[in-house]
Structures are given as structure tokens and as C-alpha cells.
A and B are shown apart, each in its own frame.
Chain A
Amino acid sequence: MTRFIERHPAWALIVILAVAVLLWLIFAVWPPGLEEAIGRKKVFLNAVLNGVTLGGLYFLVASGFTLIFGLMRNVNLAHGSLYLFGGYVGYIVSSATGSWILSFIVAFIVVALIGILLQIVVFRRMEGQDLRQTMVTIGLSIVFADLMLWAFGGDFYQIQTPNWLIGPVEIPLVTAVRSSGEAIYLQYPLVRLVIFLASVVIGIGMWLALNRTRIGMIIRAGVDDRDILAATGVRIQLVFVLVFALGAGLAGIAGVVGGTFSSLSPGEDTRFLLASLVVVIVGGMGSIPGAALGALIIGLAEQLGSVYIPTYAIVVTFLIMVLVLALRPQGLLARR
């Protein structure tokens, strides 16, 4: 952190100013002039919170993608299909048993098993052939998309939010002040906050697992230099299978989250594949903190964009990607 400030004082100043302005916009009571210029504070706060919680969902999808890419150099373009499949599995489980929590567990296990199968049957055979692996994942994503269309049709599915999470909750952010001097607080759906907290917990858990455990050390060593790691006697194939299972399982969990947040339908796989691509390009390929930062930026940009410039919202996301590629092609937090 301090090294970044020392090396790029101008950029650090810009970032600090931007964060300060954002914090002021969130916590201060807006003066009337500002409300006239850009609309009510409630709309802004809702967009920010939607953006942050969407960022949590994007992080769940993209962290698996970036982990698989970082270790195996495998651009898994079927990751969106794994997301959608996880969502469908979660839908079946939650509508059959009525248990929301169980749907997460089953989706994780089923999709992780598919990941293991893919790694053992398909990707192990073409190790080191980046392009061919990517082509195979493209072919797989087409096949999966059509199989899922066959099985589930083109309908929209939504996973039922459990009763104890339904309804809004008041959070201590002032949206406006009544003429009597009484402050109005923001109402926000509880389920989104809980899911966001869960994704933060998962993110911290992954960070700890990667940085404080032996298996995490092996994975980090593999990201840095796969061949030397294999030469030291680590059973690298086992590590690959584990990482692929974890990445795929995270995509499955994200599918259940996405099915609860919004809905599941054909085409969502592409949407989340694009999201993870952009998040990983912005954050840095193979970096978990990068995925978190990228997911936050892209989630915020998407939601704020769709509120304030509705027909050009995607351009904002895209411009962020262009800007990062122009200034720091390896991504914001990647080492190489």
C-alpha cells in the first residue's frame, strides 16, 4: 500500500479523492442542489448497494475462473455454463426439499463433480495446449447450453428465498431528513446483504486457505511455476483436480445465488461468462484479491451506469476494461 503511494503519488491521490467523494455521497445528507442535479439520494444508495452486492456475486463466479486460469492456464469458457447448471441444480433441490441451504451444498458438490470429471477426462489429455483447451471449453459450453435448454426449456426459474430472509431491513444510512428534523433510513432487502456477507466470508476463507495453509502454498507455487513445483515431487495432477473442483463448485454456488437474486434462463451463462471475463481482465488474471477488486468495480459501474445512463451502461463497464488494458495490461492487482 505505502509502496504504491510512493511509486504513483498522482494515482494514489486520484484514488483517495474518488473514495472520499464516494464515502461523502453515501454518508452525508445531500444538499438540495445536488438532489436537483442528479436525483434522490435513495436511488443512488440503492444503486450503490445493488452494485456492491452484485459485485459479491461476480466475485463468486470470477474467483473460480481466475483460480483455474491462474494454476492451469486454462481459460474455461464453459464457466458460465457451470454457473447456470449450478443454478438449475439449486432450483431443483430447493423446490423439492424446500431447503435453501441444502441447495447450496448440493449445487457445490454436483458442479464440483462435473469439474473433476472435466479435468480428468478432458483437460488432462491436452495439458499445456492452451489454445486447444480453450477451444474444447467453447465446444463444451455450446453442448452444455443446448443440453440445459433441452432439459429446462427457455423458461425463467427463480429460487424461492427462505422465509427468514424475506423482507427489507433498515440500515443506518440516512437517505433524507424530514422537515421535522427526523432522519429517514434506507430500507434494503435482507437476502442480498446476507449473500454479500457470505461471499465476503468465502473470499476471506479462500484468501486464508491460499496464504496460511500448506495446500494453499502448493497452489500459489503452482501459479508461479508449475513445472518446478511438479519437479519437487508434488502430485500436481491431484492439485489440479482439487482446484478445478473448487472453482467449478464456486460457480455452482454462484448459480444458486444468482437464481435467488434475479432468475435463471438460457443466456445467463453468457452474461456471467462476460462478467467473469471482464472482472478477471480488470482485476488481474490469476489473482483472488484482484477478482474481488474487479468484481466490486464492475458491479458498481454496472448498477450506477444502468441508473444514470441507462442506454449506455455497458459502455461504462467496457471503458473500464479498456482503460485498465491501456494503462496496466496485466490487470490491477496481478504481479506479472
Chain B
Amino acid sequence: MFGEQQRFVLLLIAPAALLMLLFQVVPIVIGANASFRDWALYNPKKTWVGLDHYHAVISDPAFLYVVLPNTFIFMVVSVAGALVTGLALALLLNRPFPGQKLVQTILLVPLMVAPVVAAIMIRWIFNDQFGIANVVLEAIGLEGQPWLVQRWSAFCIILLTDIWLWTPWFTLLLLSGLQSLPKEPFEAAAIDGTSTWRVFRYLTLPMLRPVIVVCVVIRAIDAFRTFDIVWTLTGGGPGRSTELFSLYAYVLAFLNLDLGRGSAAAIIGGLIILVLGVAMYRLVDRIAKA
């Protein structure tokens, strides 16, 4: 059936293909199967219920009016925030100054911190009784705030944590992008007497655009699936007001032990990321070719 060369090629691909099959395809199939059944630990019959779970999820007001908006707001603000601060830092680090290497190293520290550890640190900083944030506020005569028990302040803290964690990643990639730009157009602009703003607007930004777009797409897809920092900081609370999509699925499946509905939620989320991802990749392609 196959020639010798093709058999050899297949043999080389086989280990990776097998791993993907075992750890990606099979779990997805099992999950998809579960999403069509009443699959709970106390109910061994696993009754086929068709699209009931899907219907329940998309008609759940908590999912529609809290979880989905939260997820999209989180995705947009977190990616935009980290992009802007990351780009600013990258531009700063792109010009030589004394101690530049040291600053560069320090800025990369958040990348080396586990998100859960970072989230625990932040949770203590904003603890309403013992947190340093309130101590500072009270020291300057302001009133301390119950940061993590109000919806929007809690949400902002989640966003800040995520931006803090991901800014270095943007800085690193954008800095390497900046350093790979050709020097001559910038020299031509210097001779032409171009202001810093015009250099940024008409040279740096357009030339860096392909790198920016790739970073944004990768990070946006990743942000959609964020779980760890939210779970550690607020657990989705107060109430369910800071719940993101992955928390929603997790709570359904592993706290409520309703594996069927949890799987259905996960698959809905997966489909949303798929559509979003394809759309964004198309966009990248168009911008890269422009």
C-alpha cells in the first residue's frame, strides 16, 4: 500500500500522532460523548439526553449575562492592557541606557512566577483586613476598600494581575521584533528630521504590525481560557460575578459533579474559541500580506 519512503515517514510521525490521539482526540471524544448524556457520578446509567445540556447551558442566564460578557471583557482588556504596557516597555528597552540589561532582567521576573503564586500574592496585597493596599490608603488618610468582595474592583484586580503577568511576554516578543527591524528607514527618517511621534506612527508601528498581530492572536486565545488566577483570587466571586468561561465549566463538572453539562459547556466554549481563532488567523494572514 505504501512505498518504503512513505512507510518511513509514517513511522517518524507515529509517536507524535499517537500521543495526540491518546491525550487530545480521545479525551475530546469522551467529553463530547458525555455532553450528550446524563453523566453524573451517582447515576451509572448515563442516559442519552441529546442536546438537552447544550440547551440548558445557552439558556442559563448566568452563562449568557455574566460569564460570557466577563470572558470577553477580560479577553479584550487584558490583551489590550498587556500589549500597550508591553510595547511601551519594549520601546524603552530598545534604546541603550546605563543598566539596561539589569532593567530588562527585572522586567522579566513576572514571567518566571507561577500564576497561582502571583495570584496569592495579589490576594494578600488586596486583603481587606491585612492587605498592604489598604494600609497604604489608610496611611494617606483614605478609607480602605473591601477590594475582592465588590464585583468591579475584584474584576479590575483580576485584570491587573493578568496584565502584570503577561506584560513581560509582550515586551520580550515585541523587543525582539523591534530589534529585527531594518535600521536604514530609521536613519533615513532621522536625516529627514522626523519627530519621535511620527517615527513611531509611520515607521515603528506599521513595521512591527505583523509581530503585534501574532502576539495578540496567541494571547487572546489563551486569555479566553484563563482559569488559575481567577480561581485563586476570587473563585469567581463575589457570588458568580467574576466567573469566566473556564470556571463556569469547571464548577459545573467538578463541583456540581454534573459531568454531562460541564462537558457541554466546555464544548460550547471550544467552539467559540475555534470560530474566534479562525477569524483572527484570517486577519493575521491579511495583515501579514498587506
A binds B: no
Interface residues of A (CB under 8 A from B): none
